[in-house]
Amino acid sequence: MHLSKLDRSRAATALVARNARVTAASDPVEVRRLVLNITGPGERHYEGQALGIAVARDGRETFRLYTIAEVTPVPGDGGIDLALYVRRCGGPVSDYLCDRAPGDVVTVHGPYDYRFRLPMDRRSNLVMIGAGSGVAPFRALVHKAYESRVDWKGKVRIYYGPTTGVETIYNNEPGDIGQYFDRRTFRAMDALKTRRSIPGSHEPGRGLAENLAELWDLVLDPDTYVYLVGTPAHVAALDTAMAGAAGGEDAWTRAKDALARRNHWAELLFD
């Protein structure tokens, strides 16, 4: 699924009620919590859905999604407050949102339902790949696993990186608020990060080659589900890297196709 396929005719005007930095001023990573207020009749909003924001910069329009972290009705028909956590990445949309001041008006599209489904079988392996998007797109999936109150038995891997998306394995360290954004997400990720779930992930010197080899082992397991977010260029870079790990392009293509046929491969692409 490509973000350009999303229906953007459903749009609302939101008032920025609050915009506060949640990372320390001295932290090079800037994460902000924005509260957007929407009044009047319209769509119902739920936590875990995403809002779409479009921004034009340098003659090009960019459309990105942001997860609704909290939904709070405002008494006296003050509409609803929707809280988002946004990490400033230097790109057009995160800059635009981080720079909004209370009282500003923002056009939001959607809401869009979360597209990644959690497998019914808790022994399934979950592999999340954030290629050029960080791990934010997987917050809602991790919340679902946490809220289902099961001890997840399968292996869980969250990879992210700027080129293939598997340069780094995400370990959810307490100081890594720039990735998990809020305590609730930290707790949810921590619950999945059991010793059994991520053996060897703290190995010193672990890097791209180890991650590619591990991903190849995982995709050969019929119980693995892969969730990928990135651009078509990221997917092409991952395909090339995985063809190397698999011993050939054909082997990787066959393995990926087998996952897709069983609905074990879900991707969300953007440009």
Ligand X SMILES: Cc1cc2nc3c(=O)[nH]c(=O)nc-3n(C[C@H](O)[C@H](O)[C@H](O)COP(=O)(O)OP(=O)(O)OC[C@H]3O[C@@H](n4cnc5c(N)ncnc54)[C@H](O)[C@@H]3O)c2cc1C
- Asked if residues 193 and 156 have their Cβ atoms less than 8 Å apart, the reply is yes
> Contact between 64 and ligand X (CB under 6 A)?
yes
Of these, 13, 39, 62, 163, which contacts ligand X (CB under 6 A)? 62
> Contact between 86 and ligand X (CB under 6 A)?
yes
| Nearest residue (CB) to ligand X, 212 versus 269 | 269
String of DSSP letters for 9-50: --EEEEEEEEEEE-S-TTSSS-EEEEEEEE-SS-----TT-E
Of these, 12, 14, 36, 50, which contacts ligand X (CB under 6 A)? 50
> Contact between 228 and ligand X (CB under 6 A)?
no
Of these, 28, 90, 175, 200, which contacts ligand X (CB under 6 A)? 90
Of these, 133, 185, 197, 211, which contacts ligand X (CB under 6 A)? 133
Which of these ranges, 41-49, 92-100, 188-196, 201-209, lies near ligand X under the rule CB under 6 A?
92-100
3-class state of residue 95 by DSSP:
helix
Residue length, the chain?
A: 271
> Residue 50 Cβ, how far from ligand X at the closest point, in Å?
5
Which of these ranges, 57-65, 183-191, 208-216, 249-257, lies near ligand X under the rule CB under 6 A?
57-65
Owner of token pair 């207020």:
37
* Residue 17, Cβ density class (10 Å: 0-12 exposed, 13-18 middle, ≥19 buried): middle
- Pairing relation of β-strands 31-38 and 11-21? antiparallel
How many angstroms separate the CA atoms of 126 and 249, rounded? 23
Q: Kindly list the residues in this chain that would bind ligand X in the complex (CB under 6 A).
A: 50, 62, 64-67, 84-87, 89-95, 132-134, 136-137, 162, 229, 268
